Each structure stands twice: as structure tokens, then as C-alpha cells.
């Protein structure tokens, strides 16, 4: 089979990313000041998702913040199948190579996201009718992509979002064409192609009891087949004032009991109104002005609630630092967040620790203060 390795002419959707103004200066602290990665270096990795401009080094303000604050990175889109494998025998590796090189240069762990996901598939794959042909696509995609980055990245989200909210298997082209064993088969192929790369299952709401049980069953099935799975990612797309701390803690314990590493892989806390929970990208809401109340910034009461939510989360993470290996925020700053365009397009959301000018928010200060308090307690003061 002839494969074309395309390093230019990337798919247009990549180029429509949320590039930030590179002329902005990083405020508040000097580049040499300690950041999140330093505060939590003995606990777990602190990661962020990178968009195209950030991977290409076109956003200098983000680059300084990333280097100061984070020691792990995940590509937001460019390793998804529609970007990295746009045609049957064509692979676009340019940006994926760049993030792998960035991780090596700056000493950051790179998590590949994602090998198998029902969304953001290339059009030709969605239109495959023949089961054998689809299985060939499935096999070649995992083997080629995972194999290329063996030894170059630390880990893969092998399968993303394969479950319904009740814990049953999600109806998808993979389930339809390949049957319920496709998740195990994906891990088996990834294990062969990338024997030294850690392999994870990733989902949203898999801290909720029903979905958690389905996720545990899925993991047991993989392990019982003699196939390697190293960890589970809880995405962590939550809503302000509604963080399910009890369910999160129960899930940390349950997944860890299976011998898995636990990660929080796409953390953000939405502050805008929404009539459903989770992160199903197919769900949308009609726009109206009442759904976008904070165009000019957050009221202090909301800012303080956001800070409290992040403080409570990180206090829980520290409690279980022996089980948690990484906490990744889904974006560098509020202006980059996918929540500005989903589930309602064109809103102004504020879900992260840094605002649109790269300034640390009260939530950042609360999270950092937890480490100061921990250090004080350990000295007996």
C-alpha cells in the first residue's frame, strides 16, 4: 500500500483555529517566576491543550505562559483523524511532528489526542460502507499514527467517548461496523504499534455512577483480554457551583482499584447558562442574549465562586495525589476555550485560570495558595 506523507497544505479547518494576538505581553509575573508546574511538581503533571497557532509558535504571549506554567501538553485538534489522516493513503504529520518536537525541546510530556473517536472523522471514513474496508481504515490508522510517535510522545488517548450516559456503548460508526469489541481491538493495535507509550481511555461524565460503572466494565473487558491499558481520563467539563466532588472522589478510588492511573484530561468550569451537562459536541442550544451575560467580564460573585470551585477540586486532587498523574486544562486562556463556541456559538466564556489577557484570575491564586498552605502545614506552623 502506498502512503503519502503530507507535510504541507493542512486541512483548512486547522487554519481556522483560535489564534491569539501574539503582541500581548505576559503580565503579573516574570517568566522566571514559579508557576503551576513548579507548585505541583511533586504531586502530578499540570497540562494544557494547545491550538494550532500555539503549536506553530505564532502566539508568543501564550508560549511564555505555557513554558512558565505547564509541563504537559495535549493537541486540541491536530491529531484527530480528520486532520492527521484526511484521505485514505494521505497523512498530515506536520503539526503533530511539531508538538512532539516542542515537548522534547521544553521537557513537556505530550499526550496524543485521539486515535479513535466517532467525531471529527474524515469524510471518506464516514462514507465507507464495506465492513472489511472500514476495518482496514481502523487498523491502518492506529498502526500508522501510533507507530510514528512511538518513543516521541508519552501517551495516547486511544479511544475517546465510547459510552452513553447510562454506561452502555454509544451508537457510532465503530460500534456499527466493528461491533462492541472495537475498544479492546483499538488498544491491542495501539499496544503493538507503541509498546512503550502509555495507553488511556478518555471520556466525559465518567465520574457519574452509571457511566462510571460502564467505564469500569469496559476497562475490565480490555484487561481480561490480556490487552494493556494504563490509565483512564476523566475529562472534567463541569459547571460553576455544580462540581460533583463526591462522585469524582468515588471514581478516583474505583479506577485506581483496577490498577489504573487517573488523569483529569480536559478540565474547565463553565460559567454560562446551559440546560444539559456533559460534553457531547453534537448537542447545541439556540442563541439568545440571556445566554451570554458576561461579555464585559465576570461579576465578582461569579469570579469568587469559580475560584472556590477550582480550590475545592485541587484540594481533592491533592488528597489523592498518589493516584492522579496529570491534570490538564482544556486551553491556555479564556479566549482560547472551546466553550466560547459550544453549545452556543459566539459567547464569551470564562472557564479557565487565565483571562483573555493572560492574567491569572482569582481561581489561579486559590489553587496556588493550596500549595503554600500544604507547605506550611508540613513544617508544623
Residue with the three cell numbers 522534547: 104
**HSE-up of residue 354 (Cα within 13 Å, Cβ side):** 26
Give the residue among 372, 380, 378, 371 at the shortest CA–CA distance from 44.
371
Residue labelled with grid coordinates 457551583:
241
Which of 161, 198, 207, 270 is an active site residue? 161
**Which residues 6+ apart lie within 8 Å of 363 measured at CB?**
303, 306, 307, 309, 310, 311, 353
Catalytic residue among 76, 198, 266, 270: 266
Task: Give the separation between CA 273 and CA 178, rounded to whole angstroms.
Answer: 38
Instruction: For the beta carbon of residue 378, count every other beta carbon within 10 angstroms.
Output: 8
Which residues contact residue 163 at a Cβ distance below 8 angstroms, ignoring those fewer than 6 apart? 169, 170, 203, 206, 211, 214, 215, 218
Contact present, 65 and 354 (Cβ < 8 Å)? yes
> Distances in Å between the alpha carbon of 90 and those of 119, 139, 149, 251?
19, 15, 17, 40
Question: In the beta sheet, which residues pair with residue 264?
Answer: 234, 327
207 has catalytic annotation: no
d(CA 280, CA 134): 24
The kind and range of the H/E element at 111 are: strand 109-117
Percent of the chain as helix, strand, coil, to the nearest 5:
40, 15, 45
Cross-strand partners of 47: 72, 328
311 assigned to active site: no
| Catalytic machinery residues | 161, 266
Amino acid at each position: 500500500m502506498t502512503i503519502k506523507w503530507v507535510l504541507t497544505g493542512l486541512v483548512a479547518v486547522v487554519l481556522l483555529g483560535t489564534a491569539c494576538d501574539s503582541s500581548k505581553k505576559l503580565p503579573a509575573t516574570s517568566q522566571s517566576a514559579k508557576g503551576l508546574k513548579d507548585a505541583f511538581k511533586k504531586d502530578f503533571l499540570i497540562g494544557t491543550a494547545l491550538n494550532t497557532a500555539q503549536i506553530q509558535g505564532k502566539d508568543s504571549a501564550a508560549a511564555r505562559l505555557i513554558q512558565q506554567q505547564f509541563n504537559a501538553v495535549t493537541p486540541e485538534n491536530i491529531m484527530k483523524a480528520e486532520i492527521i489522516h484526511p484521505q485514505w493513503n494521505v497523512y498530515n504529520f506536520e503539526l503533530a511532528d511539531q508538538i512532539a518536537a516542542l515537548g522534547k525541546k521544553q521537557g513537556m510530556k505530550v499526550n496524543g489526542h485521539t486515535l479513535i473517536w466517532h467525531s471529527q472523522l474524515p469524510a471518506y471514513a464516514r462514507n465507507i460502507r464495506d465492513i472489511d474496508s472500514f476495518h482496514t481504515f481502523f487498523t491502518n490508522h492506529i498502526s500508522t499514527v501510533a507507530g510514528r510517535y512511538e518513543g516521541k510522545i508519552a501517551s495516547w488517548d486511544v479511544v475517546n467517548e465510547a459510552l452513553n450516559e447510562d454506561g452502555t456503548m454509544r451508537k457510532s460508526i465503530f460500534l456499527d461496523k466493528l461491533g462492541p469489541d472495537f475498544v479492546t481491538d483499538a488498544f491491542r493495535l495501539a499496544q503493538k504499534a507503541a509498546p512503550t507509550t502509555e495507553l488511556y481511555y478518555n471520556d466525559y461524565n465518567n465520574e457519574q455512577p452509571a457511566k462510571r460503572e460502564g467505564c469500569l466494565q469496559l476497562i475490565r473487558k480490555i484487561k481480561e483480554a490480556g490487552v494493556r491499558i494504563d490509565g483512564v481520563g476523566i475529562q472534567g467539563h463541569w459547571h460553576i457551583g455544580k462540581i460533583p466532588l463526591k462522585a469524582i472522589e468515588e471514581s478516583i478510588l474505583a479506577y485506581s482499584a483496577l490498577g489504573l492511573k487517573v488523569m483529569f484530561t480536559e478540565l474547565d468550569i463553565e460559567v454560562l447558562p446551559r440546560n444539559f451537562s456533559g460534553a457531547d459536541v453534537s448537542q447545541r442550544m439556540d442563541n439568545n442574549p440571556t445566554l451570554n451575560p458576561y461579555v464585559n467580564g465576570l461579576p465578582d460573585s461569579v469570579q469568587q465562586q469559580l475560584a472556590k470551585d477550582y480550590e475545592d477540586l485541587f484540594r481533592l486532587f491533592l488528597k489523592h495525589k498518589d493516584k492522579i498523574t496529570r491534570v490538564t486544562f482544556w486551553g491556555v486562556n479564556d479566549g482560547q476555550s472551546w466553550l466560547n463556541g459550544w453549545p452556543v456559538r459566539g459567547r464569551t466564556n470564562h472557564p479557565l485560570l487565565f483571562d483573555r489577557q493572560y492574567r491569572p484570575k482569582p481561581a489561579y491564586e486559590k489553587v496556588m495558595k493550596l500549595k503554600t498552605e500544604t507547605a506550611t502545614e508540613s513544617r508544623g506552623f
